[in-house]
Structure 1
Amino acid sequence: MTNINTPAATDSAAPLIPLPTTLARHTVTAGATTALIGTFLAWTWTSDFPGDLTVTGYPGGLQLLTLTTAALTILFALSTYGVPGLRWLTPGGTYAPLRLLALATFGTTGYTLGAISADLGGIVNLEPGAYVSGLGSLIALIAAFALPGDTPGTDTTGDNTWQRIRHTLAAPSPRPARAIPDWAGILIIVAAFAIGLYVFAYGIDTAYTELFIGFLITAVFTFAAITQAGLIARLSALTAHHRTVTLSAAFVAAICFPFTQSSDEYALIGANILIFATVALGLNVVVGLAGLLDLGYVAFLGVGAYAAALVSGASTSSIGVHFPFWAAILVGAGASLIFGVLIGAPTLRLRGDYLAIVTLGFGEIFRITMNNLNGNSGPNVTNGSRGIPAIPDITIFGYDLGISHDVAGFTLGKPGNYYLLMLVITLIVVTVFRRSADSRIGRAWVAIREDETAATAMGINGFRVKLIAFALGATLAGLAGTVQGHLTSTVTPEQYQFAGSVPPNSAFLLAAVILGGMGTMSGPLIGASLLYLIPAKLQFMQDYQLLLFGIALIVLMRLRPEGIIADRRKKLEFHETGQLDTPDTTLTDTPVGVTKAGA
């Protein structure tokens, strides 16, 4: 009987490098072990390179990333041997995760060696440990691509190099795993969110650019590896089965984040990520569920921010009233709702490009109007380009979010306080999105998105359904806008452009929805987090953000058009599923009414 963790070479695609399978696996293990050992040796002789890679016997900085990927490579390699206790790592019996982890080890190590050489002035600055890890990671990579492919029956003869690599990395669907007790599933969910919190906190807390880039390389290839191994699919099945536990674990992990940060700078990044992600989730109602291309969505964020700022008691407010926060947030959400209905009612009878142009125009009209309400070009309402500064901090039940507080032995500053407030609002938005998507109106949105003509023929009032989506999306953006205005302490028209250097703006919001996965709940949250975190950590990318994001979207459309988190419908739409294949003739050889023997 064939071990499911040892794919037969005769049923697999040809390897890129001819080498016996057993020897290739031994070589991968040996190469990864060598790379791991090298991390305990000095990689450079001077501490001028950030992270201090001069210490022998104690890995630090980028060495820890190489150590992590090398250790994972060894574990997955042992899993392919059928080692008891490790078989669950590759339930589909595939080599694709091993190749991706070898790529992660080589990519992280190679980048580190290149960064040392570039920053310090040549490879002469490399110590023996760097060569040991570099050679080990290269050997592991070459041997990993000598393993047979995991796509049974695939003939790679005549394919170009890119096609052969794709065939080699492709993995079949994992075999169903054994059922586990509910208590074990709950522990796995809790452990997964704990690991996720640690990884996110580590990434956001990276102290220098080189470490963050190395972290990105490690995270991308490692996530791809565990996805190919089927572990993400198995975790998704567990979270679907224990939905309440999943939401509770996610909320607790998010609450713990500001307590893991020693600097207000990173807590501020976390608060802004939540604002960006919440607005992106609201846009997902409009674009992902209803299929309405809105290019001026950031204007609704501005409407909520301006409305809340005007009633917040700011000294520069032209209204001169001071509402409590609960009333200010209702004013912001209500103003965005009204504007959503007023803008949507005359424009939602348009479709496609025409609707996109109109919404883009609304976004620009909003920004220009806020500039003109300065007392010269129009009535003095918004102070024009100066905006509304000095917005007072929020006070809830006597708890001033603008000052530091000691909570359970930890000190939370203003960014941490606003992060926790925004987390509650994000939870509300997630609940609204989830309930709406699963409701009758949510199914009507999907029907309109797929085919408005067919949906109308089935009795769905397309205009009313689209107007509800537009109004709901605007309201969710207004909720986030009220908190954003108080967090930044000022509101100006330049914050709400179609495409600017500082998110959130309409282009970045749309990119977050597409990158994360349209129509999903967690997709826009992940997409927004990536699009905000990466520019915040890589300051040198500020002048090339739109170019780099455009390239990222092109690559995404080529490799994973359904987004990072795939909606089931999109996955069927963008990938060949065999639904339209010609039926097997063996099933039609028997005349109708006659059954085969043994059937």
Structure 2
Amino acid sequence: MTTKTHQTTPVLAIPATVARAATAAGAALTLGSTFLAWTWTAKFPGDLTVTGYPGGLQVLTLVGAALTLLFTLSGYGIKGLRWLTPGGTNSPVRLAALGLLGTMGFTVGAISVELGGVVNLEPGAWIGLVGAIITVVASLGLPHDQDITDTATPSPLEKFLNSLRAPAPGRPKELPSWAEILIIVAAFGIGLFVVTYGIDTAYPELFVGYLLITGFAVTALFKAGLMARLSAITTKYRSIAVAAAFVAAAVFPFTQSTDQYTLIAVNILIFATVALGLNIVVGLAGLLDLGYVAFLGVGAYTAALVSGTSASAFGVQFPFWASVLLGAAVSLIFGVVIGAPTLRLRGDYLAIVTLGFGEIFRIAVGNLDGVSGPRVTNGPNGVPNIPDLNFFGYDFGESHTILGFELGAYANYYMLMLLAMILVVLVFSRAGSSRIGRAWVAIREDETAATAMGINGFRVKLIAFALGATLAGIAGTVQAHVQSTVVPEMYVFAGPVPPNSAFLLAAVILGGMGTISGPLIGAALLYMIPAKLQFLSDYQLLGFGLALILLMRFRPEGLIANRRAKLEYHETGQLDVPDETLAGTTSGTTKAGA
């Protein structure tokens, strides 16, 4: 006699035990192949000719194979591994297997294209590819839910596996406080390593492999339930989690030997800070602003003109704290002046007007050159030679030794921008949970209903617009000194280099509107991808368009979504009538008819 519970039909009609064993064998085969040579020449980046020592894309493949193998063994219920899949599903195995095949297939294809054919592949590459294919095909034979079949006459293999299995998991065992805090520290440490590895990738092939393996691995961790459990722990120890996140971010410059990649991190922080400001306007208040980058330009030009550079038309030099306050104040004034007449519009009309404002700003600063208009911004030449910051005797343009580590100039700006982003995150979180924040959400959901309930829609929207402009202006004051020059072409609606209005809006939508971590992740991805894959510069907008189409189809709430968005964009079945109720109704109708 056989009993099955919560069992669904697999994609392939393969016995679950055989499918799991084949999946594990394929992952192990690919893992072993990473210790063999994949090419006979070192011309391919990463030097895949060494036997016994993985390098480059082999390391990423090894990580994907190890993760797939661990998820597969966890499905057996082996003691010590069941914690990997608290969600109790086989989806993590399939996702990890797909990531493994994607990375392995990309590597084989890249070697063949760059070296001139498959003849350049060594047996190790073929073994890894065959193992990855076996892993994916076998994983399709796993049931969609955890296999908990009880058979009266188990096979010898099942008897052996049953002897290794741990008892079926019930409610997760509560860990001691020190263990949960240690998990938080370890999680942020691993996150720091993963982000640092991605920023430090030295060639495009490695970065593409990094994107593939990281994307599938993170999705697999979500499906496994590990991220939900980690989220519960960080919520329980919120202050410790915030401190750990700040420490992990502050440690990044100490992991860099040069400023080459620190500059990328600084620009990511600038981009993410501005995206968070836009998230107030778009994510919380629901105002589609297509000219938001102009407020970043207002702050940057304000700081540049009072920086003491010889190219400034005013010839003044303010201390940094004064230039930050001035940049924020000028951006605030522009936000109020632009928002007062335009925020009475809604929807597409508001989007068109804000797009026009962005273009007017770019054209205006381009014409203030002393010929077409007053000499203020030097027109298309911009404001060059902006000096480095000097904050209470601390020169941001010089290297400094801290704790025995020499930090370069961009590391100084990184720390400054990190503090600015913390300020923006604090403002966003406080504003979002305040009375004004709830009014923003009400306006976003239904402005007519919110107005009928007594909310002054125009005033609330103007506050959101002004606050978003102020935060963008603060980021702009730092950007002016980091870039050392400010030109009109930096502040356009769409261009090859972020930040611009299209990139900022895409970062908010991609990451998840109305959240804090969503725009941060979206901004990091949208800045790193163009920076690392410069050969795709002519196809960036096409790629972003395709990515947004796929996102709207499969995850319309964004990569990181709040609970409201999940309920709004996905069918939860909360209003479905239970089957037994329908059966009872049908039975009653039949009896009545009889």
**Structure 1 residues 14 and 396, CA, compared in 2 at 3 Å: closer, same or farther?**
same
How far residue 582 of structure 1 moved from its aligned partner, in angstroms, is: 3.0
**Aligned mate of 1:231, from 223, 226, 229:** 226
Question: Counterparts of 1:251-266 in structure 2 under 5 Å?
Answer: 251-266=246-261
- Verify the 8 A CA contact 2:184 2:241 in the aligned structure 1: yes
Distance 1:27 1:212 in 2: 30
**Aligned mate of 1:586, from 581, 585, 590:** 581
Query: Are positions 1:395 and 2:390 aligned together?
Result: yes
Give the letter for the 1:264 counterpart. Answer: D
Distance 1:9 1:574 in 2: 32
- Verify the 8 A CA contact 1:13 1:151 in the aligned structure 2: no
- Verify the 8 A CA contact 1:40 1:57 in the aligned structure 2: yes
Query: Are positions 1:357 and 2:347 aligned together?
Result: no
How far residue 367 of structure 1 moved from its aligned partner, in angstroms, is: 0.6
Give deviations 1:160-196, integer Å, cap 9, x for gaps.
xxxxxxxxxxxxxx98533222222211111111001
Give deviations 1:452-486, integer Å, cap 9, x for gaps.
11111111111111110000000000000000001
**Corresponding residue of 1:145:** 140
**Aligned mate of 2:305, from 303, 307, 310:** 310
**Aligned mate of 2:317, from 291, 314, 322:** 322
**Corresponding residue of 1:452:** 447
**Corresponding residue of 1:440:** 435
- Verify the 8 A CA contact 1:92 1:175 in the aligned structure 2: no
Q: Secondary structure at the match of 1:112?
A: helix
**Aligned mate of 2:114, from 98, 116, 119:** 119
**Structure 1 residues 175 and 108, CA, compared in 2 at 3 Å: closer, same or farther?**
farther
Identity %: 69
How far residue 262 of structure 1 moved from its aligned partner, in angstroms, is: 2.2
**Aligned mate of 1:423, from 415, 418, 427:** 418
How far residue 263 of structure 1 moved from its aligned partner, in angstroms, is: 2.6
Distance 2:383 2:12 in 1: 64
Give deviations 1:227-256, integer Å, cap 9, x for gaps.
100111111111112111111111101111
Q: Secondary structure at the match of 1:11?
A: coil
**Corresponding residue of 2:275:** 280
Distance 1:48 1:309 in 2: 45
Give deviations 1:480-502, integer Å, cap 9, x for gaps.
00000010011111100001111
**Corresponding residue of 2:399:** 404
How far residue 106 of structure 1 moved from its aligned partner, in angstroms, is: 1.3
**Corresponding residue of 2:43:** 48
**Corresponding residue of 1:250:** 245
How far residue 46 of structure 1 moved from its aligned partner, in angstroms, is: 0.8
Distance 2:186 2:249 in 1: 14
Structure 1: any 5+ residue segments left out of the alignment? 3-7, 153-173, 591-599
Give deviations 1:425-446, integer Å, cap 9, x for gaps.
0000000001111111111110
> Structure 1 stretch 489-498 or stretch 256-265: which is displaced more?
256-265
- Verify the 8 A CA contact 1:107 1:217 in the aligned structure 2: yes
- Verify the 8 A CA contact 1:38 1:130 in the aligned structure 2: yes
**Corresponding residue of 2:484:** 489
TM-score scaled by length of structure 1: 0.92
Q: Secondary structure at the match of 1:265?
A: coil
- Verify the 8 A CA contact 1:311 1:317 in the aligned structure 2: yes
Give the letter for the 1:215 counterpart. Answer: Y
Give deviations 1:191-217, integer Å, cap 9, x for gaps.
111001000111111111111111111
Give the letter for the 1:122 counterpart. Answer: G
Distance 2:536 2:174 in 1: 47
Give deviations 1:285-336, integer Å, cap 9, x for gaps.
0000000000000000000011111111111111111100000000000000
Give the letter for the 1:559 counterpart. Answer: F
Question: Counterparts of 1:174-253 in structure 2 under 5 Å?
Answer: 177-253=172-248
Distance 1:295 1:179 in 2: 48
**Corresponding residue of 1:5:** none
Give the letter for the 2:430 counterpart. Answer: R
How far residue 138 of structure 1 moved from its aligned partner, in angstroms, is: 1.1
How far residue 60 of structure 1 moved from its aligned partner, in angstroms, is: 0.8
**Corresponding residue of 1:136:** 131
**Aligned mate of 2:290, from 288, 292, 295:** 295
Q: Secondary structure at the match of 1:177?
A: coil
**Corresponding residue of 2:162:** none
Give the letter for the 2:35 counterpart. Answer: F
Structure 2: any 5+ residue segments left out of the alignment? 148-168, 586-594
**Corresponding residue of 2:539:** 544
Give the letter for the 2:552 counterpart. Answer: M
Give the letter for the 2:327 counterpart. Answer: G
**Structure 1 residues 175 and 567, CA, compared in 2 at 3 Å: closer, same or farther?**
farther
> Structure 1 stretch 370-379 or stretch 275-284: which is displaced more?
370-379
How far residue 355 of structure 1 moved from its aligned partner, in angstroms, is: 0.5
Give deviations 1:257-286, integer Å, cap 9, x for gaps.
111122312000000000000000000000
**Corresponding residue of 1:343:** 338
Equivalenced residue count is 563
**Corresponding residue of 1:479:** 474
**Corresponding residue of 1:531:** 526
Give deviations 1:369-424, integer Å, cap 9, x for gaps.
10111111111111111111111110112110011112222221111111111000
Q: Secondary structure at the match of 2:372?
A: coil
- Verify the 8 A CA contact 2:37 2:125 in the aligned structure 1: yes
- Verify the 8 A CA contact 1:91 1:175 in the aligned structure 2: no
TM-score scaled by length of structure 2: 0.93
**Corresponding residue of 1:162:** none
**Corresponding residue of 2:510:** 515
Distance 2:260 2:531 in 1: 11
Runs of 4+ in 1 over 4 A off after TM superposition: 587-590
Give the letter for the 1:581 counterpart. Answer: D
User: RMSD of the alignment, in Å?
Assistant: 1.7
Distance 2:177 2:435 in 1: 31
**Aligned mate of 1:78, from 68, 73, 77:** 73
